[in-house]
Chain A
């Protein structure tokens, strides 16, 4: 066959070879099918361990109790025992090293998340003890009267 016929074919072959070589260099070696299907499981295996190594911020109440046992006991008798420490005290992260102290959220808005009255039949919300924020000591911080670890006023006497 004549040279000018084959030349574009060689050029095309060279281009394919170039692309394949570039792919081999650029795609990480752990890229491949790691699962049942090419459609859903074609990925870089290292990405899974990347996500596993993401830092944990909320350590959970069991972590807090290790040192703050007296606070855990004070809340155990109250209905607020179902609330995680970190919901009000903020994420522990690497406390006590970093941060050294946690900032407690003492705002009225925090309490109102559950205790602002909403007349919603069929939802657990309507069964919680509730107040109308516009009428129940408006503007006051709830913690002025209620102890968040034992919010029942009769128990405080």
Chain B
């Protein structure tokens, strides 16, 4: 058998590289493997907003920003309150100055005075992340930085997010924004650090009127689950098929 020095070195180098490759780098996930890793989580966080009870005080927005370290004076917020005023001519007047952070203290909407006798209905609608069962934002993430936890909350891995902004564009509800401090995408987490300790989300706790409630949708005795099962509730933008888990009592066709 002939073996030149050149071919010996070549083959030797080749086998050395091949031997140094960890076997795990060739491992791909099989669907069966992924399925086997999943138990049946006993918790699925859901949210209930009662728009009849909301008075537009904005304490929820303030508490959320302070709790979660969202820069207070920048026009970004994880939750906000919108005001809808429908007049007798069928016009809708909608505003949300600073996300309702300072509450609604003036009847003026974008500088316009609307006479009380012309108002047919008017109400406040708090908004936050819907923690969708089929989150569009997670689907578009190119790096696996945003994900759904086993208890149904969509989170962002701040060490892994590259700040590309795809998810901000993909969310039909506009709840995501770019965090100027951490330089990553950011959004409502249902206050994951609080609900996993048995506390309520900061906005839920701050609301004096119980307009916001959070609960475990897998627990049939949970007041939120009971209300969703027995009362007439609606979700935002159902037609997108994202299966939002924030339910509203008293939602109006004018709400977008």
Contact = CB atoms under 8 A, between A and B. Distances in A.
Interface in A100-122: 109, 112-114, 116-122
Contacts of B35: 36
A121 B144 contact: no
Contacts of B139: 39-40
The 6 closest A-B pairs by CB, nearest first: A113-B103, A43-B147, A120-B122, A47-B157, A54-B193, A119-B116
B17 A14 contact: yes
Contacts of B159: 44, 47, 50
Interface in B27-66: 29, 31, 33-35, 37-38, 51-59, 63, 66
A50 B158 contact: yes
A120 B114 CA distance: 11
B122 A58 contact: no
Contacts of A74: none
B193 A51 contact: yes
Interface residues of A, number: 54
A57 B196 CA distance: 15
A118 B38 contact: no
29 contacts: A34-B37, A34-B150, A36-B34, A38-B31, A39-B139, A40-B147, A43-B144, A44-B144, A44-B157, A44-B160, A47-B147, A48-B155, A52-B196, A52-B197, A54-B193, A56-B193, A56-B197, A57-B66, A58-B66, A58-B205, A84-B205, A84-B206, A87-B63, A87-B208, A112-B103, A119-B107, A120-B122, A120-B123, A123-B55
